[in-house]
Structure 1
Amino acid sequence: MADTIRLDKFLWFVRLAKTRSFAQEVAEARHLRIDGRVIEKAAACVRVGNTLTFPLHGRVRVIRVLALPVRRGPAPEAQACYADLTENVSQQAPGD
Protein backbone atom coordinates (compact mmCIF):
# COMPACT_ATOMS: atom_id res chain seq x y z
CA MET A 1 0.00 0.00 0.00
CA ALA A 2 1.26 3.46 -0.86
CA ASP A 3 1.90 6.03 1.88
CA THR A 4 0.20 8.85 -0.09
CA ILE A 5 -2.90 9.30 -2.24
CA ARG A 6 -4.04 12.09 -4.54
CA LEU A 7 -6.29 14.60 -2.81
CA ASP A 8 -9.15 14.20 -5.30
CA LYS A 9 -9.10 10.42 -4.96
CA PHE A 10 -9.06 10.65 -1.16
CA LEU A 11 -12.08 12.96 -1.05
CA TRP A 12 -13.96 10.74 -3.48
CA PHE A 13 -12.98 7.42 -1.84
CA VAL A 14 -14.07 8.61 1.63
CA ARG A 15 -17.34 9.97 0.21
CA LEU A 16 -16.74 13.63 1.06
CA ALA A 17 -17.13 14.43 -2.65
CA LYS A 18 -19.89 12.88 -4.72
CA THR A 19 -17.68 12.75 -7.83
CA ARG A 20 -13.96 12.85 -8.41
CA SER A 21 -14.40 15.78 -10.81
CA PHE A 22 -16.12 17.77 -8.02
CA ALA A 23 -13.16 17.01 -5.72
CA GLN A 24 -10.83 18.26 -8.46
CA GLU A 25 -12.82 21.49 -8.81
CA VAL A 26 -12.69 22.17 -5.05
CA ALA A 27 -8.94 21.65 -4.93
CA GLU A 28 -8.21 23.74 -8.00
CA ALA A 29 -10.44 26.58 -6.79
CA ARG A 30 -8.09 27.03 -3.80
CA HIS A 31 -10.86 26.20 -1.31
CA LEU A 32 -8.96 23.44 0.44
CA ARG A 33 -6.03 23.40 2.86
CA ILE A 34 -3.77 20.57 3.95
CA ASP A 35 -2.15 21.31 7.31
CA GLY A 36 -2.92 25.01 6.76
CA ARG A 37 -1.32 25.14 3.29
CA VAL A 38 -3.61 26.29 0.45
CA ILE A 39 -3.89 23.62 -2.23
CA GLU A 40 -4.07 24.49 -5.92
CA LYS A 41 -3.88 21.04 -7.52
CA ALA A 42 -6.04 17.96 -7.22
CA ALA A 43 -2.86 15.88 -7.42
CA ALA A 44 -1.62 17.15 -4.03
CA CYS A 45 -0.52 14.26 -1.81
CA VAL A 46 -2.50 13.30 1.28
CA ARG A 47 -0.80 11.32 4.05
CA VAL A 48 -1.99 9.76 7.30
CA GLY A 49 -1.96 12.48 9.96
CA ASN A 50 -2.76 15.38 7.60
CA THR A 51 -5.50 17.81 8.58
CA LEU A 52 -7.81 18.89 5.75
CA THR A 53 -9.91 22.06 5.95
CA PHE A 54 -12.50 22.83 3.28
CA PRO A 55 -16.02 24.22 2.76
CA LEU A 56 -18.75 21.65 2.24
CA HIS A 57 -22.53 22.16 2.18
CA GLY A 58 -22.44 25.65 3.67
CA ARG A 59 -19.99 24.98 6.51
CA VAL A 60 -16.28 24.50 6.99
CA ARG A 61 -15.20 20.90 7.55
CA VAL A 62 -12.02 19.97 9.38
CA ILE A 63 -10.89 16.34 9.23
CA ARG A 64 -7.77 14.41 10.24
CA VAL A 65 -6.65 11.58 7.95
CA LEU A 66 -6.46 8.30 9.91
CA ALA A 67 -5.97 5.85 7.02
CA LEU A 68 -5.64 5.88 3.26
CA PRO A 69 -8.50 4.11 1.49
CA VAL A 70 -7.80 1.65 -1.33
CA ARG A 71 -11.27 1.91 -2.88
CA ARG A 72 -14.58 3.76 -2.70
CA GLY A 73 -16.27 1.40 -0.30
CA PRO A 74 -19.39 1.60 1.84
CA ALA A 75 -19.90 4.60 4.13
CA PRO A 76 -18.73 2.93 7.38
CA GLU A 77 -15.50 1.87 5.68
CA ALA A 78 -15.02 5.38 4.28
CA GLN A 79 -15.72 7.10 7.62
CA ALA A 80 -13.09 4.94 9.35
CA CYS A 81 -10.43 6.68 7.23
CA TYR A 82 -10.84 10.08 8.90
CA ALA A 83 -11.77 11.79 12.15
CA ASP A 84 -14.17 14.71 11.88
CA LEU A 85 -12.76 17.59 13.94
CA THR A 86 -15.46 20.03 12.82
CA GLU A 87 -17.50 19.79 16.03
CA ASN A 88 -14.41 20.52 18.11
CA VAL A 89 -13.72 23.69 16.13
CA SER A 90 -17.31 24.97 16.18
CA GLN A 91 -17.69 24.43 19.94
CA GLN A 92 -14.68 26.55 20.85
CA ALA A 93 -15.50 30.02 22.01
CA PRO A 94 -13.78 32.95 20.24
CA GLY A 95 -10.44 33.68 21.81
CA ASP A 96 -9.80 30.10 23.01
Structure 2
Amino acid sequence: MTIAGRQRLDKWLWFARVVKSRTLAAKLVSDGYVRVNSVKADAPAKAVGPGDVLTIALERQVRVLKVLAPGARRGPYEEARTLYEDCSPPPPATTETGAGFGDRAPGAGRPTKKERRSHDALFGGDGFGSGKVD
Protein backbone atom coordinates (compact mmCIF):
# COMPACT_ATOMS: atom_id res chain seq x y z
CA MET A 1 0.00 0.00 0.00
CA THR A 2 1.38 3.39 -0.94
CA ILE A 3 0.59 6.47 1.10
CA ALA A 4 0.90 9.70 -0.94
CA GLY A 5 3.48 8.16 -3.27
CA ARG A 6 5.52 6.56 -0.49
CA GLN A 7 6.20 2.87 0.11
CA ARG A 8 7.84 0.58 2.67
CA LEU A 9 11.59 0.36 2.12
CA ASP A 10 11.75 -3.45 2.14
CA LYS A 11 8.87 -3.69 -0.33
CA TRP A 12 10.45 -1.11 -2.63
CA LEU A 13 13.81 -2.93 -2.61
CA TRP A 14 12.00 -6.13 -3.57
CA PHE A 15 9.92 -4.44 -6.30
CA ALA A 16 13.08 -2.80 -7.73
CA ARG A 17 14.75 -6.23 -7.87
CA VAL A 18 17.67 -5.22 -5.65
CA VAL A 19 17.17 -8.45 -3.66
CA LYS A 20 15.49 -11.77 -4.45
CA SER A 21 12.89 -11.78 -1.67
CA ARG A 22 11.16 -9.35 0.63
CA THR A 23 12.54 -11.26 3.62
CA LEU A 24 16.08 -10.64 2.38
CA ALA A 25 15.21 -6.97 1.85
CA ALA A 26 13.97 -6.69 5.45
CA LYS A 27 17.13 -8.41 6.72
CA LEU A 28 19.34 -6.09 4.66
CA VAL A 29 17.65 -3.06 6.24
CA SER A 30 17.60 -4.52 9.77
CA ASP A 31 21.31 -5.38 9.61
CA GLY A 32 22.14 -1.76 8.78
CA TYR A 33 23.26 -2.12 5.16
CA VAL A 34 20.81 0.48 3.79
CA ARG A 35 20.95 4.26 4.15
CA VAL A 36 18.16 6.63 3.14
CA ASN A 37 19.38 10.15 2.36
CA SER A 38 22.70 9.40 4.16
CA VAL A 39 20.91 8.26 7.35
CA LYS A 40 21.01 4.60 8.33
CA ALA A 41 17.55 3.05 7.94
CA ASP A 42 16.43 1.67 11.28
CA ALA A 43 13.38 -0.35 10.21
CA PRO A 44 12.17 -2.15 7.08
CA ALA A 45 8.88 -0.25 7.37
CA LYS A 46 10.57 3.14 6.75
CA ALA A 47 8.69 4.96 4.01
CA VAL A 48 10.57 5.98 0.88
CA GLY A 49 9.32 8.08 -1.99
CA PRO A 50 10.41 9.87 -5.13
CA GLY A 51 13.57 11.90 -4.61
CA ASP A 52 14.99 9.75 -1.80
CA VAL A 53 18.55 8.47 -2.35
CA LEU A 54 19.32 4.95 -1.12
CA THR A 55 22.84 3.71 -0.48
CA ILE A 56 22.86 -0.08 -0.34
CA ALA A 57 25.92 -2.12 0.66
CA LEU A 58 25.53 -5.44 -1.12
CA GLU A 59 27.89 -8.39 -0.94
CA ARG A 60 30.22 -7.36 -3.76
CA GLN A 61 29.26 -3.76 -4.49
CA VAL A 62 27.76 -0.55 -3.15
CA ARG A 63 24.76 0.74 -5.08
CA VAL A 64 23.43 4.28 -4.93
CA LEU A 65 19.85 4.48 -6.20
CA LYS A 66 17.59 7.50 -6.51
CA VAL A 67 13.93 6.56 -6.06
CA LEU A 68 11.83 7.76 -9.00
CA ALA A 69 8.51 6.08 -8.17
CA PRO A 70 6.92 3.59 -5.77
CA GLY A 71 6.35 0.13 -7.18
CA ALA A 72 2.94 -1.34 -7.94
CA ARG A 73 4.14 -4.93 -8.33
CA ARG A 74 7.30 -6.99 -8.72
CA GLY A 75 7.46 -7.11 -12.47
CA PRO A 76 10.18 -7.90 -14.98
CA TYR A 77 13.57 -6.19 -14.91
CA GLU A 78 12.55 -3.59 -17.52
CA GLU A 79 9.62 -2.51 -15.33
CA ALA A 80 11.72 -2.53 -12.16
CA ARG A 81 14.38 -0.37 -13.84
CA THR A 82 11.83 2.47 -14.18
CA LEU A 83 11.54 2.74 -10.37
CA TYR A 84 15.03 4.15 -9.84
CA GLU A 85 17.99 5.99 -11.33
CA ASP A 86 21.32 4.27 -10.73
CA CYS A 87 23.85 6.80 -9.38
CA SER A 88 26.40 4.16 -8.34
CA PRO A 89 30.07 4.96 -8.87
CA PRO A 90 31.62 3.08 -11.78
CA PRO A 91 33.45 -0.13 -10.87
CA PRO A 92 37.22 0.24 -10.46
CA ALA A 93 39.15 -0.13 -13.70
CA THR A 94 41.13 -3.32 -14.11
CA THR A 95 44.81 -2.97 -14.84
CA GLU A 96 46.43 -4.58 -17.83
CA THR A 97 48.82 -6.60 -15.67
CA GLY A 98 47.20 -9.66 -14.25
CA ALA A 99 44.22 -9.45 -16.60
CA GLY A 100 45.39 -12.11 -19.07
CA PHE A 101 46.07 -15.78 -18.63
CA GLY A 102 49.79 -15.44 -19.33
CA ASP A 103 50.28 -12.51 -16.96
CA ARG A 104 50.71 -13.65 -13.38
CA ALA A 105 53.28 -13.38 -10.68
CA PRO A 106 55.90 -16.14 -10.67
CA GLY A 107 55.02 -18.83 -8.16
CA ALA A 108 51.39 -17.71 -7.90
CA GLY A 109 48.72 -20.32 -8.44
CA ARG A 110 49.06 -23.61 -10.22
CA PRO A 111 52.32 -24.14 -12.14
CA THR A 112 52.36 -24.05 -15.91
CA LYS A 113 53.51 -27.06 -17.89
CA LYS A 114 56.88 -25.38 -18.50
CA GLU A 115 57.32 -24.64 -14.77
CA ARG A 116 56.37 -28.20 -13.90
CA ARG A 117 58.95 -29.64 -16.33
CA SER A 118 61.72 -27.43 -14.96
CA HIS A 119 60.73 -28.43 -11.42
CA ASP A 120 60.83 -32.12 -12.35
CA ALA A 121 64.23 -31.68 -14.01
CA LEU A 122 65.61 -30.03 -10.89
CA PHE A 123 64.07 -32.24 -8.21
CA GLY A 124 63.34 -35.42 -10.07
CA GLY A 125 60.12 -36.87 -11.38
CA ASP A 126 58.58 -37.80 -8.03
CA GLY A 127 58.95 -34.28 -6.62
CA PHE A 128 61.08 -35.35 -3.64
CA GLY A 129 64.53 -34.98 -5.19
CA SER A 130 65.30 -38.67 -5.53
CA GLY A 131 65.84 -38.37 -9.25
CA LYS A 132 64.02 -41.58 -10.10
CA VAL A 133 60.63 -41.84 -11.68
CA ASP A 134 58.40 -44.79 -10.79
TM range (shorter): 0.7 to 0.9
1:15 is aligned with what amino acid? Answer: R
**Which of 69, 74, 77 is matched with 2:76 structurally?**
74
RMSD: 1.5
Question: Following TM superposition, by how much is the alpha carbon of 1:59 offset from its aligned partner in structure 2, in angstroms?
Answer: 1.1
Q: TM-score, normalised by structure 2?
A: 0.63
Q: Which runs of 5+ in 1 are unaligned?
A: 92-96
* Structure (1/2) with the larger strand percentage: 1
CA-to-partner distance for each residue in 1:51-72, whole Å, 9 max, x for gaps? Answer: 0001123111100001111100
Q: Which runs of 5+ in 2 are unaligned?
A: 93-134
Q: 1:14 — aligned with what?
A: 16
**Aligned equivalents of 1:69 and 1:6: distance in 2?**
10
Question: Following TM superposition, by how much is the alpha carbon of 1:18 offset from its aligned partner in structure 2, in angstroms?
Answer: 0.3
Q: What SS is found at the alignment partner of 1:80?
A: helix
Where do residues 39-58 of structure 1 align in structure 2 (5 Å cutoff)?
39-58=41-60
Q: 1:4 — aligned with what?
A: 6
Which consecutive aligned stretches of 4+ in structure 1 deviate over 3 angstroms post-superposition?
A: none
**Which of 67, 87, 90 is matched with 2:89 structurally?**
87
Q: Percent identity?
A: 36
- Structure with greater contact order relative to length (CA < 8 Å, sep ≥ 6): 1
**Aligned equivalents of 2:83 and 2:33: distance in 1?**
21
**Aligned equivalents of 1:35 and 1:23: distance in 2?**
18
Q: TM-score, normalised by structure 1?
A: 0.87
